[in-house]
Amino acid sequence: MKTYKIALIKGDGIGPEIIDEAVKVLDAVSSCFEFDFSYDEALMGGCAYDITGDPLPAETIKKALASDAVLFGAIGGEKWDDLPREKRPESGLLRFRKELGVYANLRPAVVYDELVNASSLKPEVVRGVDLMVVRELIGGIYFGEPKGRDENKGWNTMVYTRQEIERIAHNAFQIAMERSKRVCSIDKANVLDVSQLWREVVEEVAKEYPEVELSHMYVDNAAMQLIRDPKQFDVMLTGNIFGDILSDEASMLSGSIGLLPSASVGAKIGVYEPIHGSAPDIAGQGIANPIATIASASMMLRYALGEIAAADKIDDAIKRALSEGYRTKDLAQYDAKEICSTSEMGSIIANYAAKCKH
């Protein structure tokens, strides 16, 4: 029996509520396989600041690096908004990602059939959408030098090295191999030199994946195509700033922020987390949707632990809960048969995931 070590960072607001449900589902699905989990809780965010004076205690990095993967809830809240920048929960999270060297952000956007009416786009446009944005996370214009400002001018630099492009491109192609084998690389090669290099390097990497079909698209066109016909995309590979914008745009196709998982991966340990924040407005009420976090746990099984069959079982269990009409409050108006609490939704999905025929 294999035991995977998972660092659990619950964080603030609804973080503890949604992580508890993901753990419930992980334990349920593991009962069908030859592995289990040992969990090590670590502090980050406002709760860490309150106890230690630091939103990212050194102990947390140590625990993360000693684990097979990190499952992360959310951090932040008004209580800590007036602290100096480096003491704020969000600074802790950025530092954490940098320390772990997680250079690839994977954001799937899936539209569940049962929730096509929850999208702001027409059902016929979003039905069947299942795409993955692969965004470079620790390079590009957010980090490039020189940067600065004076009274009359501000400047940032978009830099990518061949090595940075190669490693993120490999991620995208490897993911495409597990999906429908199509990568669309998004750039602005008609204007930017850095994008010309991006395109060249992506084409070189593509030669190592002859089964994958590669296409290129300018970012302005991609923004439009995502709304016009999102089903044309499978894997969208892109740099930091373009990916930031496109992944938020893609996430809205599905209808609720409470549904969307993500993974940030690199050479060391990956961080698996919902795309939403700590939702202080609903914290402690038992109404948060745990599906984004449960789906993040499924990504952890798939990408960090290679437990594909177990990940598939969780994804199927989520779909089954939705198709049987179970809804948390955020989705109550969309074909709900029964409204459930955070913990009830977790238990329903755990129950389906624990059915051992596979």
Positions annotated as catalytic residues are 142, 188, 220, 244, 248
57 binds ligand NAD (CB under 6 A): no
Rule CB under 6 A: say whether 292 interacts with ligand NAD: yes
Q: Which has the closest alpha carbon to 293: 317, 275, 319?
A: 275
Kindly tell me which residue out of 29, 75, 138, 321 binds ligand NAD, with binding defined by CB under 6 A: 75
Extract the tokens encoding 343: 């913990």
Residue 30 has phi, psi (to 5 degrees) of -65, -20
Closest approach of Cβ 327 to ligand NAD, in Å?
A: 11
| Interface map 162-201 toward ligand NAD (x if CB under 6 A) | ----------------------------------------
Binders of ligand NAD among residues 339 to 358 (CB under 6 A) are none
Does 281 participate in binding ligand NAD (rule CB under 6 A)?
yes
- In the complex with ligand NAD, the residue whose CB is nearer, 30 or 45, is 45
- Contact pattern from residue 93 through residue 112 relative to ligand NAD, giving x for each residue in contact according to CB under 6 A and a dash for the rest: x-------------------
Query: Which amino acid type is present at position 37?
Result: F
For position 76 contacting ligand NAD by CB under 6 A, the verdict is: yes
Minimum distance between the CB of residue 41 and ligand NAD, rounded to whole angstroms? 16
Residue from 40, 90, 130, 335 touching ligand NAD (CB under 6 A): that is 90
Q: Which of 57, 230, 255, 277 binds ligand NAD (CB under 6 A)?
A: 277
CB of 346 to ligand NAD, least distance (A): 12
CB 319: neighbour CB atoms within 10 A? Answer: 16
Interface positions with ligand NAD (CB under 6 A): 74-77, 90, 93, 257-258, 273, 276-282, 288-289, 292, 330
